[in-house]
């Protein structure tokens, strides 16, 4: 029987309604799947035939430790996705690369760590009236907030706080996400 580790984290930010269904389906297919919290130092991926990243939602809190973990897993067993893809996907700079290849992304301003900037100036220069500010290493809306033009002081304070710790993106708020949300694409084979 194949043994598969489904990488997760010790404390999920919200329940995963698909977890039980996935574990049951894998068991019925003859796969011994177990949850493996990446942030539990007492456990590792040795002994598994495969490790699949599933719900490692807290990695933005300590991205260096997460990269070290995926490197250890990569050295121990087969890791999905490949480590090169995981490293590429860690920082939202991948969005810039996709945009350069013709993929549409929300209008975005890119700010480097520590770069002084003005929330009001961004709105003035772009004409945006509603924005989303988030760190470039983020998942599950980690440290992501929405601000309107009348929230200049709180927007500026949040922007300054984030930019002292991370690269930051400021994006025009896209109202369409309220109805449909973001969509993830999964390629198999």
- How far, in Å, CA of 133 to CA of 149, rounded? 13
pLDDT (0 to 100) of residue 186: 66
pLDDT in tens, 56-105: 999 999 999 999 999 999 999 999 989 999 999 999 999 999 999 999 99
Q: What angle do CA 92, 155, 166 make, to 5 degrees?
A: 35
Three-state DSSP class for residue 92? coil
- Distance (Å) of CA 51 to CA 46, 109, 131, 162: 10, 35, 37, 32
Whether residue 184 has pLDDT greater than 90 = no
- Distance (Å) of CA 66 to CA 7, 95, 101, 129, 174: 11, 20, 28, 36, 30
- Distance (Å) of CA 138 to CA 47, 61, 142: 30, 8, 5
- How far, in Å, CA of 88 to CA of 93, rounded? 8
Whether residue 135 has pLDDT greater than 90 = yes
DSSP conformation class of 40: -
Whether residue 155 has pLDDT greater than 90 = yes
Whether residue 1 has pLDDT greater than 80 = no
pLDDT band, residue 177 (cuts 50/70/90) = confident
Report cis status (omega within 30 of 0) of the bond before 6.
no
pTM equals 0.86
pLDDT (0 to 100) of residue 34: 96
């Amino acid at each position: 029987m194949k043994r598969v580790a489904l990488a997760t984290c010790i404390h999920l930010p919200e329940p995963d309604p698909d977890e039980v269904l996935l574990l049951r389906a894998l068991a019925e297919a003859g796969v011994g799947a177990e949850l493996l919290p990446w942030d539990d130092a007492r456990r590792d991926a040795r002994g598994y035939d495969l490790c699949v990243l599933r719900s490692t939602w807290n990695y933005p809190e300590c991205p260096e430790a997460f990269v070290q973990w995926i490197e250890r897993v990569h050295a121990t067993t087969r890791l999905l996705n490949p480590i090169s893809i995981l490293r590429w996907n860690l920082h939202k700079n991948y969005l810039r690369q996709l945009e350069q290849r013709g993929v549409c992304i929300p209008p975005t301003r890119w700010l480097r760590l520590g770069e002084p900037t003005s929330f009001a100036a961004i709105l003035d220069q772009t004409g945006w009236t509603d924005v989303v500010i988030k760190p470039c290493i983020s998942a599950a809306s980690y440290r992501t907030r929405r601000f309107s033009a009348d929230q200049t002081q709180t927007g500026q304070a949040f922007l300054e706080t984030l930019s002292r710790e991370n690269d930051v993106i400021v994006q025009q708020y896209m109202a369409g996400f309220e109805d449909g949300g973001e969509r993830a694409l999964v390629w198999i084979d």
